[in-house]
Chain A
Amino acid sequence: MPILRTEHVNKYFDKLHVLKDVSFGVERAETLVILGPSGSGKSTLLRCLNQLERIDGGAIYFEERPLSYERRAVYRNRRNFGMIFQSFNLFPQKTALENITLGPITVAKVSKAEAEREALALLEKVKLADKAYAYPAKLSGGQQQRVAIARALAMRPKILLFDEPTSALDPETIGDVLEVMRQLATEKTTMIVVTHELGFAREIAERIIFMDMGEIVEGGPSDELLARPKSARLAAFLDAVVHK
């Protein structure tokens, strides 16, 4: 039984049809990678899953219950997801530690002491224990992204959504972020990852979905899909990425 699945999801930005009949599912503990050229709707799809965007048609089921768009239901559903953004979106006026504890303290009503203890453990996990009191502006992109991962984990989400987590990073700091994600994958965290990192996708993804122009073109086990693309569009995409 998939922990999350979508059925014929459609989404428009004004007249632009950005998601066309998107149906897919994620199993518990699975790492699913969504590949596709920019503008293919990958990020919009992620944002629909935790209801940062509203869908115009179809349905999304979390643990087999359809998502409601009633205000409080939306707030509740978002806590099932942790989201990591391309541009990190850390809170600039807060330290790394405060970035991580803000959610637990204000949303989950955890005590400050407890939240800080857990935050320090999470910083340890992403190998940034020494940066607990640093402000985001003082951190490298890779460090900021790892704080963002810790911030998401602090809410104990059931699924992690990664929206091109390494696209805004310098090549030398990508490795640290991928290392943390690799670690999460081995811990059986359910993850949906939008990425351009083909090598990384092959390594951690059990399954890959290829999207183009708002629709899922094909999907399947990662080795198979990358080695023997069935569609001309995926073949062309892989070719373009490899030869960039």
Chain B
Amino acid sequence: MESQPIIVQYAYFFLQATAITLGISFLSLFVGSIIGFLFSLLRISRSRVFSALAFVYAEVFRGTPLLVQLFLVYFGLPIVFHLEVSAFTTVAVSMTLYTAGYMTEIFRAAIQAVDRGQWDAAYSIGMTYPQALFKVVLPQAMRIAAPPTLGQFISILKDSSLASIIGFMELTKAGMAVRAATSNTLLAFAIVTCLYFMICYALSIASRRVELQLKKA
């Protein structure tokens, strides 16, 4: 065992951590998109109150560091509500709410990027607001939102490394653990770096493909 190179010895450990990083990032993107979508609808609604609510939400979560949000949940909840939260819960909740802030803006921008004439045309054939929104505008908005959504995925995937600070065992924390066990700092983080880059680069290529595909259609 001793003679095995680090990369082989810890291969399973690194893969597991990579899966966790991917999983928590995807989870926060998925749930964050649902929340962001709902907030974007509030944001564009005629109700001043709802619109302001969504605006404030997006601005607060985009306007403060994710790390601070993690701390606030991790250390704040036990103090204020006497609620002990696990590292996983903290990370999942914080990253989801943070992503939701960005997705609110991505969806809002995409909906508003659809030509006003599409609303006019939909209304002119007698559609109601929900019909015009869901049958005509959103299908077009979703295509516009696809590339920035993939960009957001890349962004949150990298930001998830912050979770290591509160001890959540994702990819960066795994690198720290291997470094501690082997004293080989350079190799441990070189592996971590490669893994992040491979995933992000693949996503980046996918994003460009999607963009090209949409341009053609």
A87 to B131, CA, bound (A): 22
- Measured as residues with beta carbon below 8 angstroms from the partner, the interface class of chain A is 20 to 34
Binds A, one of B19-27, B48-56, B116-124, B168-176: B116-124
Tell me whether A75 and B128 are in contact (CB under 8 A): yes
Task: Tell me if B194 counts as interface (CB < 8 A to partner A).
Answer: no
A170 to B120, CA, bound (A): 23
Mark out the residues of chain A between 57 and 79 whose CB falls within 8 Å of any chain B CB in the assembled complex.
75, 78-79
Closest chain-B Cβ to A16's Cβ sits at a distance in Å of 18
**Chain B residues near A81 (CB, 8 Å)?**
124
Encode B101-139 as 1/0 by CB contact (under 8 A) with A. Answer: 000000000000001011011011111100100011001
A154 to B128, CA, bound (A): 17
Q: How many of chain B's residues have a CB under 8 angstroms from any CB in A?
A: 18
Tell me whether B115 and A89 are in contact (CB under 8 A): yes
A89 to B140, CA, bound (A): 13
Tell me whether A155 and B128 are in contact (CB under 8 A): no
Q: Kindly report which residue of chain B lies nearest to residue A137, judged by CB atoms.
A: B217
**Chain A residues near B135 (CB, 8 Å)?**
102, 106
Mark out the residues of chain A between 68 and 110 whose CB falls within 8 Å of any chain B CB in the assembled complex.
75, 78-79, 81-83, 85, 87, 89-93, 102-103, 106-108
Tell me whether B125 and A155 are in contact (CB under 8 A): yes
Select one of B120, B123, B125, B217 contacting A102, CB under 8 A. B125
Tell me whether A50 and B117 are in contact (CB under 8 A): no
Task: Tell me if A234 counts as interface (CB < 8 A to partner B).
Answer: no
Mark out the residues of chain A between 20 and 72 whose CB falls within 8 Å of any chain B CB in the assembled complex.
47, 50, 52
Tell me whether A78 and B117 are in contact (CB under 8 A): no
Q: Quick one: given A91-B136, A92-B140, A106-B131, are A82 and B124 in contact (CB under 8 Å)?
A: yes
Tell me whether A50 and B124 are in contact (CB under 8 A): yes
Select one of A90, A107, A108 contacting B121, CB under 8 A. A90
25 contacts between A and B (CB under 8 A): A50-B123, A50-B124, A52-B123, A52-B124, A75-B127, A78-B123, A78-B126, A81-B124, A82-B124, A82-B125, A83-B121, A89-B115, A89-B121, A91-B118, A91-B136, A93-B139, A93-B143, A103-B125, A103-B126, A107-B125, A107-B126, A107-B127, A107-B131, A108-B126, A152-B124
Smallest CB-CB A-B distances: 3 pairs: A103-B125, A89-B117, A89-B121
14 other A-B residue contacts (CB within 8 Å) besides A91-B118, A93-B217? A47-B120, A52-B124, A78-B124, A82-B125, A83-B121, A83-B124, A85-B121, A89-B117, A91-B136, A93-B139, A102-B135, A103-B125, A148-B121, A152-B125
